[in-house]
Amino acid sequence: MSIHSVRAALPFAALVLLLGVGAAHAQSGAPAKTAAAPAAAADDDEDGSAQKDRRARYVQRSFERFDTNHDGTIDRDEFGVGLGRFLDRQRAAFNRDFKAADANGDGKLSQEEASEANPVLAQHFEDIDANHDGFLTKSEIRASIREQQTRVTVEGDEQDDAAGASAQKKD
């Protein structure tokens, strides 16, 4: 496999791995308290193989959704359409979950509401609360998600650059 075919596959793999928990959550329709607890509970053999099997099935189903002409590859057009559909589902799940967490319906989450809805969100509440008013809005949460995605991308690019420089030295 050439470096070009690996790089072509990376956006899809990154999408599946980075957003897989959210997509699986979005498909279930039920707010999850934590991402790890349900997966661990479902791994009845306790060696991680059940979780690996679920992940492999998820990746396969995701690939099949993107590969609309079923030729075993995902071209740029299929990727764009598939990504758009995926993001639409993610937005709908985010809006649904935010509304469910917003117990008093004021359009923002208090520390208590965040704690009840999502322990990870509550753990990072102060970092996400950009204006430090004691509430989280959809915009603040989205901005935090974008910041995290950018950091992952930049760190990944730096690792790719370092790996490429190392490979060139070997040549």
Helix (H) or strand (E) holding 109: strand 109-110
- Torsion over CA: 22, 27, 30, 35 (sign): negative
Structure tokens at 45: 């053999």
pTM of the model: 0.56
**CATH of the domain spanning 104-171:** 1.10.238
pLDDT tens across the length of the chain (171 residues): 333 333 344 444 444 443 443 434 434 444 433 344 444 455 555 677 888 999 999 999 999 999 999 999 999 999 999 999 999 999 999 999 999 999 999 999 999 999 999 888 889 999 999 999 999 999 999 999 888 888 777 666 666 666 666 666 665
